[in-house]
């Protein structure tokens, strides 16, 4: 395995590949470090000959895959959206449908990686704090691999996301507080309980799974890098890790083209990263007040890292009015046939803003990450249901549609 250690993003201290969420010296976040010489034996051919899941990228992940793989996520479709590209006036638009993962969001990726580490460490319970989708992913992964599952979410979550957790048999704790309260609670609990908290003690492994979104985009474009990528910002991990994936492959010569400009979207009611970006400052926490619950994180763990990635890539961040979120869900569905949840609706809003400001245009090949499924947030569009009730009588229908009988 090419992964050799964990390295602190702040002070640079190196740690073994343990289940510690933060640096022992300074509590900074830890990223896996790889032996590039070992990775250099990987070729485009060896990648495409690998399993039909994210485990084809095992040489770029900090764990050994579980020997008996169940419900492996990844290798989700990258589909062209020519009608929307034309409407927006951009060269090419591709949608990365991470809705096609086992629990319909990209969260299945990181959880698969964290679960492999949990198994290696001999842990028998998987746990997390979640804005919804991570809870679903942890619950399903636990069922697939034979772990117990304990998930902690804000009490005010969409009912669909609670159902999609409980159905797998997980123990669900609805915490009276915001996601940031839930996150603090689980970090505290992770010091006391022998559970594998995927986004606390196992965070370095969990977050790394999101690199595979970047690998797949590149591979599916024929090992070419796109010009711009749009992703949602919750903790900032997905966005920053997609870019890390591109950078790693560029360094190894596995991809052609310049590194893409990375653009991130946040909802107006929770825009700590956008504010920090606009003011040229470090991220300061806010109290979220947004309908986009899956990205309602007021104190984003990887917010500053996301800003660094935006700067390095020549991209940026845009916020999207709360009033536009439901409309964006509908507009994306009408123009592409893809029903995303609130987070991709925000990401789509960021894309429209970037077009309006001339940041992307006719010469760009653009990828929009559809990070989660609209079926989990139907409340925002349920008012649109408008069925025409009829008897089972063809004459009535012909009359209704105005056909001459
Ligand atoms: C969790 C989540 C996000 C945010 O991802 P981060 O890595 O926390 O930035 C975006 N979209 C969906 C659908 C999510 O579930
Ligand atoms: Zn440190």
**Token code pair at residue 318:** 């845009």
Instruction: Tell me how far the alpha carbon of residue 154 lies from the centroid of ligand 1, in angstroms.
Output: 15
Ligand number nearest to the C-alpha of 9? 2
- Nearest C-alpha to atom 14 of ligand 1 is from which residue? 294
DSSP 287-355: ----S-GGG--SS-TTHHHHHHHHHHHT-EEEEE-HHHHHHHHHHHHHHHS--B-HHHHHHHHHHHHHH
Instruction: Tell me how far the alpha carbon of residue 371 lies from the centroid of ligand 1, in angstroms.
Output: 7
**What are the distances in angstroms from CA 176 to CA 137, 152, 286, 289, 387?**
22, 10, 18, 15, 38
pLDDT tens for each residue of 245-284: 999 999 999 999 999 999 999 999 999 999 999 999 999 9
pLDDT tens for each residue of 46-89: 999 999 999 999 999 999 998 888 999 999 999 999 999 999 99
Testing ligand 1's pocket by substitution, the residue of 105, 110, 307 carrying the most ligand atoms inside 8 A of its CB is 105
Note the pLDDT of residue 405: 61
SS3 state at 365: strand
**Token code pair at residue 295:** 């990205």
402: CB partners within 8 A, 6+ apart: none
**Which residues, in sequence order, are bridge partners of residue 153?**
174
For residues 149-165, give the mean pLDDT.
94
pLDDT tens for each residue of 165-190: 999 999 999 999 999 999 999 999 99
**Tally of residues, the chain:** 405
* Closest by Cα among 269, 311, 316, 294 to 376: 294
Note the pLDDT of residue 403: 86
Atom of ligand 1 nearest to the CA of 231: 10
* Biggest CA-to-CA distance, the chain: 82
State the Cα–Cα distance between residues 217 and 219, nearest whole angstrom.
6
Q: If pLDDT is split at 50, 70 and 90, which confidence band does 232 have?
A: very high
State the Cα–Cα distance between residues 104 and 73, nearest whole angstrom.
10
Question: 297 φ, ψ to 5°?
Answer: -120, 115
SS3 state at 256: strand
**Residue 294: how many other CB atoms lie within 10 Å:** 28
User: What does the angle CA 42 – CA 98 – CA 365 come to, to the nearest 5 degrees?
Assistant: 75
pLDDT tens for each residue of 126-146: 999 999 999 999 999 999 999
Testing ligand 1's pocket by substitution, the residue of 204, 232, 274 carrying the most ligand atoms inside 8 A of its CB is 232
Q: How far is CA 96 from the centre of its chain?
A: 11
- Identify residues whose C-beta is under 5 A from ligand 2, the ion: 8, 10-11, 13, 23, 25-26, 28
pTM: 0.97
Ligand number nearest to the C-alpha of 309? 1
Note the pLDDT of residue 8: 98
* Closest by Cα among 256, 226, 271 to 92: 226
For residues 195-207, give the mean pLDDT.
97
Instruction: Tell me how far the alpha carbon of residue 17 lies from the centroid of ligand 2, in angstroms.
Output: 15
- Least confident range of 151-160, 208-217, 222-231, 342-351: 151-160
Instruction: Tell me how far the alpha carbon of residue 263 lies from the centroid of ligand 1, in angstroms.
Output: 14
């Amino acid at each position: 395995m090419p992964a050799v250690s964990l390295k602190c993003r702040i002070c640079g201290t190196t740690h073994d590949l343990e289940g510690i969420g933060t640096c022992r010296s300074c509590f900074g976040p830890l990223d896996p470090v790889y032996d590039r010489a070992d990775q250099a034996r990987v070729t485009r051919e060896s990648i495409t000959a690998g399993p039909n899941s994210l485990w084809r990228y095992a040489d770029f992940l900090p764990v050994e895959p579980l020997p008996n793989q169940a419900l492996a996520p990844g290798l989700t479709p990258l589909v062209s959206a020519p009608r929307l590209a034309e409407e927006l006036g951009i060269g090419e638009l591709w949608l990365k449908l991470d809705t096609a993962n086992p629990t319909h969001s990209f969260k299945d990726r990181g959880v698969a990686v964290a679960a492999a580490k949990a198994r290696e460490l001999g842990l028998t319970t998987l746990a997390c704090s979640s804005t919804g989708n991570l809870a679903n992913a942890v619950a399903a992964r636990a069922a697939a691999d034979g772990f117990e599952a304990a998930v902690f979410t804000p009490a005010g979550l969409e009912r669909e996301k609670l159902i999609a957790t409980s159905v797998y048999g997980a123990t669900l704790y609805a915490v009276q507080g915001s996601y940031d309260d839930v996150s603090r609670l689980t970090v505290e609990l992770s010091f006391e309980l022998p559970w594998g908290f995927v986004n606390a003690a196992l965070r370095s492994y969990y977050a790394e799974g999101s690199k595979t979104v970047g690998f797949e985009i590149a591979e599916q474009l024929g090992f070419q890098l796109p010009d711009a990528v749009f992703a949602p910002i919750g903790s900032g991990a997905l966005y920053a890790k997609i870019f890390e994936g591109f950078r790693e492959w560029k360094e190894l010569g596995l991809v052609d083209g310049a590194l893409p400009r990375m653009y991130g979207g946040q909802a107006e009611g929770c825009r700590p990263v956008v504010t920090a970006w606009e003011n040229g400052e470090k991220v300061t926490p806010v109290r979220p007040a947004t309908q986009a619950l899956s990205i309602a994180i007021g104190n984003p763990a990887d917010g500053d890292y996301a800003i660094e990635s935006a700067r390095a890539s020549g991209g940026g961040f845009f916020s999207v009015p709360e009033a536009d979120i439901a409309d964006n869900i509908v507009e994306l569905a009408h123009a592409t046939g893809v029903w995303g949840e609130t987070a991709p609706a925000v990401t789509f809003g960021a894309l429209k803003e970037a077009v309006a400001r001339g940041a992307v245009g006719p010469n760009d090949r653009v990828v929009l990450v559809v990070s989660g499924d609209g079926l989990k947030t139907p409340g925002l569009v349920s008012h649109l249901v408008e069925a025409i009730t009829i008897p089972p009588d063809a004459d009535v229908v012909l009359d209704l549609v105005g056909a001459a009988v």
